[in-house]
Amino acid sequence: MRFLILTIGLLASFSNFAQDKTEIEKSIRHKDVPPKAIADLMAILGPDHKVKWYYQEDGQKKVYEAKFIWFSDHYSVEFNAKDAVISNVEIELKLNELEPKFIKRLHKTLDEIFVDNSIRKIQKEYYGKPEELLELISTQVIPKELSVQYEVEVIGNNGSKKALFELILNKKLKPISQRQIKVKSSDIFDY
Amino acid sequence: MRYYFFLLLVVISITVMAQNLQSGFLPNITLSYKLNEEYKLVHKLESRWPSFNDLDRNFDPEFERFDVQTYIERKTGLFSKVSLGYQFRFRTQNRYAHRTIQQFSWTNRFDRYRIGHRLRSDQTFSDDRKPEVRFRYRAKLQLPLQGQSLDLGEYYLSLSDELVWSYRSPNADLENRIIANLGLYIDDKNKVETGFEWRVEEFFLEKVRHQLWFVLSWYKSL
């Protein structure tokens, strides 16, 4: 028992040591979400719809994020922490359901950046006025006024090395930004 | 966190009811050093301290063995690697054993969790026993407990199941190892895990043997 207490104490002290970080992303309960965000979303989805809530802080912005499945699509909706107003909607696109024309344009963009590449995930992101974002969720019809961009996760070789990348593309699938995603160490799986 | 304690309770309950039981402590440390973009050197030190069995029912921790493992690891893809290893085992009464190890491992990434797969074969040689060969497969799940992805300073749950088939003339054996750990991702260079490993061995014999080990692991990258 003494050994067990010592171990838990050791683990807790490691935890305190590791708290020095700028990014926070944690799962939260419904009761900890601003009532306005819940009310706006549940008015569309219905009170019993399953929604997972998260709180995120990255030094620049603080948001509440709702994740849910709606008409077979995976949605991720952000609300500003300050006023609980909706700020963007992300919908994950199914790779096998993309139009051939769209895929061709996407590959053209990726081929200009990478020697070879493989798409792992693609999300369509909408930005605009709160009422238009809520209308998008409600009707699944995209209001013309919304800004659109794509977030693409790709395994690619940029000429120097093969790595995992996140690309932000504009509406016309032209690159806005690119960053390498650090692949976490897998030593706990290997040994 | 509540999932972890629930699982812990299940493992303890099953084991308390089990016959033919041995339990104790299994602390280990894994040190890894990246040689270049492709190759990595890994050392693992592990000792085993049996402390309790269902026959005499006394709590008496005793040193049983100490393993030193060294691997050379090569990346074969972004999420896969092959490793070749050697283990030197020191046991009580100055008995030794040598083991050669070959493994292929790969990881599947999902939005919220990761699953690691490990295929391993090993061959053990010692003066006092016949050589033994083993083939193993392990699947390990890592699930963050504080959000949708694992960030610095956060806890995670790791669950794994490993099937081990072995042959030492003239007998073959099958063993299953279930591990439930609570982990802390301090940073990418430091991870600590603690929990229980439940081994059920000698499936091919009349009476299976149970082992329950309290595990404390530290993964350190240099």
DSSP one-letter string for B98-157: EEEEEEEEEEEE-SS-EEEEEEEEEEEEESSS--EEEEEEEEEEEEESSSSS--TTEEEE
Radius of gyration of the CA atoms of chain A, in A: 20
Burial class from Cβ neighbours inside 10 Å (0-12, 13-18, 19+) for residue B36 reads exposed
CA distance B214 to chain A (A): 9
Q: CATH assignment of B2-221?
A: 2.40.160
Interchain CB contact of A155 with B (< 8 Å): yes
**pLDDT score at A2:** 56
Question: Residue A26 phi/psi, 5° resolution?
Answer: -140, 150
Q: Which residues pair with A156 in a beta bridge?
A: A117, A163
Q: Which residues pair with A70 in a beta bridge?
A: A73
**pLDDT score at B18:** 61
Per residue in A68-92, pLDDT (tens digit) is 999 999 999 999 999 999 999 999 9
Q: Do B184 and A21 touch (CB under 8 A)?
A: no
**pLDDT score at A19:** 43
Q: Do B187 and A18 touch (CB under 8 A)?
A: yes
CATH T-level topology, domain A92-128+142-183:
Nuclear Transport Factor 2; Chain: A, (3.10.450)
Q: Are B49 and B25 in contact (CB under 8 A)?
A: yes
State the CB neighbour count (10 A cutoff) for residue A100.
7
Per residue in A33-71, pLDDT (tens digit) is 999 999 999 999 999 999 999 999 887 889 999 999 999
Cβ contacts (< 8 Å) between B42 and chain A: which residues? Answer: 187, 190-191
Give SS3 for A128: coil
Q: Looking at per-residue confidence, does A34 or B153 come out higher?
A: A34
Closest residue to B107, CB basis, from A4, A10, A189: A189
CA distance B160 to chain A (A): 9
Q: What residue segments make up the domains of chain A, in order of their start?
A: 21-84, 92-128+142-183
DSSP one-letter string for A43-61: HHH-TT---EEEEEE-SS-
Q: What residue segments make up the domains of chain B, in order of their start?
A: 2-221
Q: ipTM of this model?
A: 0.83
Q: Are A163 and A131 in contact (CB under 8 A)?
A: no
**pLDDT score at A8:** 52
Q: Do A188 and B116 touch (CB under 8 A)?
A: yes
Per residue in A105-158, pLDDT (tens digit) is 999 999 999 988 999 999 999 999 999 999 999 999 988 899 999 999 999 988
Per residue in B13-41, pLDDT (tens digit) is 665 566 688 899 999 999 999 999 899 99
Q: How far is CA A8 from the centre of its chain?
A: 33
CA distance A144 to chain B (A): 30
Q: Are A166 and A150 in contact (CB under 8 A)?
A: no
Q: Are B17 and B198 in contact (CB under 8 A)?
A: no
Nearest to A56 by CA among B148, B183, B111, B109: B148
Strand A117-127 to strand A86-93: parallel, antiparallel, or no bridges (unpaired)? antiparallel
| pTM (two decimals) | 0.81
pLDDT(B219) > 90: yes
| Mean pLDDT computed over every residue of chain A | 87
